[in-house]
A = this chain, B = another copy of it.
């Protein structure tokens, strides 16, 4: 299976109770790709400015990431985000954000990527998500994320996007905001009414819930006390989910459930260090061992 992701590449500065890092590699598409390439190669569609450090390019090049869709836009600057987490670290506070190249024209999907069968549209303007999706000839599985900004300001466009994708991965606040439902099961059902076949609602340290037309599946987070920096947890989750589904070549309910385990484990590694510190040298064997530990911890008997 061929897996395409389109999303942001960022230069992040992050402070948590465990320390801080300055100008490290981040962004939705990056965290996604580091998780997903544990399963299948990834086709990356994204833009950076000409300030994008060579060292970061080398890091991206160290994985099975096809960079044919990575556009370096001359005269533009790379997306930058400065954030802070406090207390239970359940929510990021954005201290500073410079959209830079993300506020310009969207990247183009290279022709060589048009035959991708699995697509993840990370959070961006929902109209751009549709524009990107329209450049893929016949995806078998397409999944999108979003954020509060678009839910608030571009609701009808987002609803149109939801009508085109196979699945949705939202966090709890987004699901509630979009639907006006405080109860997450009711919120999930309301999202399914927009068209997607499944919705996964991420609840941070409280795990994730899957809804399909006739099933609800709830999975707790991987129990850990080793949380250094939650940045990228949600994108790593999506990367683990989509990578696993692409590898398995199906997205029936059994595969979706198992994919959520892999997504959860991907996120559990990401949060153990700043930036890509923990996942950069992570092996598939380490992932599979933790999947096995996690599955054991879920057994009822």
Given the known interface contacts A258-B301, A301-B258, the answer about A218 and B218 at a Cβ–Cβ threshold of 8 Å is: no
Whether A185 and B223, one on each chain, are in contact in the complex, defined by CB atoms closer than 8 angstroms, is: yes
Whether B300 and A225, one on each chain, are in contact in the complex, defined by CB atoms closer than 8 angstroms, is: no
Whole-angstrom distance from the CB of A39 to the nearest CB of chain B?
17
Given the known interface contacts A203-B206, A207-B218, A219-B220, the answer about A88 and B182 at a Cβ–Cβ threshold of 8 Å is: yes
> Complex formed: what's the CA distance from A215 to B301 in Å?
13
Which 10 A-B residue pairs are closest in the complex by CB-CB distance? Answer: A218-B220, A206-B206, A185-B225, A216-B223, A186-B225, A183-B225, A88-B182, A254-B301, A185-B223, A257-B300
A interface, size bucket: 35 or more
A-B contact pairs, 19 of them (CB 8 A): A88-B182, A183-B225, A183-B227, A184-B205, A186-B225, A207-B218, A207-B220, A209-B220, A216-B223, A216-B297, A217-B297, A218-B220, A218-B221, A218-B298, A219-B220, A254-B300, A257-B299, A257-B300, A298-B298
> Complex formed: what's the CA distance from A186 to B258 in Å?
27
Produce 1/0 per residue, A276-301, CB < 8 A to B: 00000000000000000001011111
Whole-angstrom distance from the CB of A211 to the nearest CB of chain B?
8
Collect the chain B residues with CB atoms within 8 Å of residue A258's CB: 300-301
Collect the chain B residues with CB atoms within 8 Å of residue A215's CB: 297
The residue on B at minimum CB distance from A260 is B300
Is A261 interfacial (CB 8 A cutoff)? yes
The residue on B at minimum CB distance from A206 is B206
Collect the chain B residues with CB atoms within 8 Å of residue A185's CB: 223-225
CB under 8 Å from chain B, chain A span 190-228: 203, 205-207, 209, 215-221, 223-225, 227
Is A87 interfacial (CB 8 A cutoff)? yes
Whether A257 and B301, one on each chain, are in contact in the complex, defined by CB atoms closer than 8 angstroms, is: yes
The residue on B at minimum CB distance from A218 is B220
